Amino acid sequence: MDIQNYTIEQLEELAGKIREKILNTVSKNGGHLSSTLGAVDLIVAMHYVFDVNKDPFIFDVSHQAYAHKLLTDRWDSFDTLRQFGGLCGYTSPDESEFDYYKAGHSSTSISVAVGAAKAIALKGEDRIPVAFIGDGSMSAGMVYEALNELGDRKYPVVIVLNDNEMSIAKPIGAVSRYLSKSMASPFYQKFKKRVESILEHMPDATMYMAKRLEDSIKLITPGLLFEELGIEYIGPIRGHNLEGIIDALKIAKELKKPVVVHAQTIKGKGYEIAEGPQEHWHGVGPFDIKSGKSLKKASSKKSATQIYGDKLLELAKQNKKVVGVTAAMPGGTGLTKLLEEFPKRFWDVAIAEQHAVTSMGPLAKEGFRPYCTIYSTFLQRGYDQVIHDIALMNLGVVFAMDRAGIVGEDGETHQGAFDISFLRAIPNMTLAAPFNESSFNNLLDFSLDFNTPLAIRYPRGSFIADDFDTPKFEYGKSHLIEDGEEILFVGYGNGVGRAIDSKKLLKSKNPAILDLRFVKPLDEEALSKLAKKFKKWYIFSDSAYSGGVASAILEFFAKSGIEDVEIESFEYPDKFIPHGATAEVEKYLGIMPEQIADKINKMESK
């Protein structure tokens, strides 16, 4: 959409239409709401000042880029947002040439912008990368690694800092607003250049005094950090004043330097019910626009997250050594109550997964029982820390990995497919998984006295299997849930429920069902005995096949010389898994119980 010739009034009208379109679509499909509504004016201004046809628009996390999608030829298809086969909830070059980079995790945008700026410089082109980043993403170390180089190399990069609840400017109130208004004007930028030129030619003594004055001014401005890193700073500006945003972006563009444009916005802008820093409205399911009430029917089963939060709270009340951390996801990981009840023992460290992991190591070393509660996909970001700072020291940190398996509409950047594969290779690491509420409670009881690294995976939403009593966990021991004949179903975690449901649909076979419980270490004694009785094994695990559960069992067979057992796995194929409703994605993968039963019926009838 070409908006370069629009008037301010036309741009404001367009921003209103975009908000209406986002609100109507998200209320039906679900998605990210408050952050993307708050970003509309900034994105409209970006498209007005910069040329999206040549300038890389790089969105951090990119869940707030819905306005960008609507401005780049996706208005008519926007109703398919986050649906299987429809538009992705994040930027994706596969979807549009105007999406420069894929992003679903935070704090990558400035690094990508620096890389793009290097390529542009080498090619001698007149293009400017524009990185759009939220204040929450500024807590991750990768941001400062990129800023550090950018401030040194001085590549022309414009960073739009969308500040919707950050305290960077609050302590300085009216003074900050006055200085920021001045700094966003052409006069201030010219004045600053003039001062810098004069300082270069001043005698040392005079220059010292002038420099002290300049530093004093910086100390009462929110741009101190950026200025000290060698990056120009404009702001904070009002993030919903289109004329002011456009003026600031034009100045930033003309400077031909790295510049941060700091804009203060309101989450949920334009939809009063969602306005403000309310975690609930960050990501939502379908809801009624008038009342704001969810249209999603509440499940009669407790979610795995609820089970975990309730049990950990119980353990924390019983044992003062129980401590824990999450990285900006207290509600999503079930830790909200623990943070409220034990604020000195449970911490939210913001978007800083590496720090979250490493910080739990010393607590384990000092005799505490730390629980690092994190989504499977986000633990990927702390992988080196898991190896270097926890496993290498053989410290008793429990990694509670929520969202293991298919996560649905968030798609390929968020699917919890790889944790078994990347953790199984680490020495000293134990991997275990529950399949219902009883087994989860038993596993958490087991974890309380476990003194080496332990990773527990569990799904988004409810377990597939119904709840029934299960025995206590013993280290490295599996549990045969049902005996049977001829074939064996081996389930790990939520895969046990998939195995149980698939068995119900078989025509003639009566498979035994094994709850593997541990994929590292394997219950080699039990597996050896079962290999003598069952010559056809089917593996059920909501995880990647490569390096997964079947791989672990096949490695054991090779080591033990077991050659007469045939294995068929229903784990995920070696590809990134698209977005869509969980049931639709699982159907696409061919792992719905009826699909599995049909395959087994055909194979066993041959």
Based on the residue annotation, tell me whether 460 is a catalytic residue of this protein: no
Instruction: Measure CA 163 to chain center.
Output: 19
Based on the residue annotation, tell me whether 353 is a catalytic residue of this protein: yes
> Residue 556: which residues within 8 A CB-CB, separation 6 or more?
522, 524, 527, 562
* Catalytic hit among 69, 381, 498, 503: 381
Check: CB of residue 111 under 8 Å from CB of residue 54.
no
Check: CB of residue 117 under 8 Å from CB of residue 93.
no
Dig out the tokens for 341 from the structure. Answer: 């009840």
Question: Is the peptide bond preceding residue 236 cis, with omega within 30 degrees of 0?
Answer: yes
Calpha distance 437→440 (Å, rounded): 5
CA distances from 498 to 188, 466, 501, 503 (A): 65, 11, 5, 9
Calpha distance 121→217 (Å, rounded): 34
| Helix, coil or strand: residue 157 | strand
Based on the residue annotation, tell me whether 517 is a catalytic residue of this protein: no
Q: Which residues pair with 58 in a beta bridge?
A: 131
Q: What is the CA radius of gyration of the chain?
A: 27
Q: Which residues pair with 57 in a beta bridge?
A: 130
| Helix, coil or strand: residue 436 | coil
Which of 464, 198, 447 minimizes the C-alpha distance to 321?
447
* Catalytic hit among 69, 267, 311, 424: 267
CA distances from 397 to 140, 293, 332, 595 (A): 22, 39, 20, 38
For CA atoms 232, 238, 244, 249, give the dihedral sign.
Answer: positive
* Catalytic hit among 232, 353, 412, 584: 353
**Residue type (1 letter), 188:** Y
Active-site residue list: 267, 353, 381
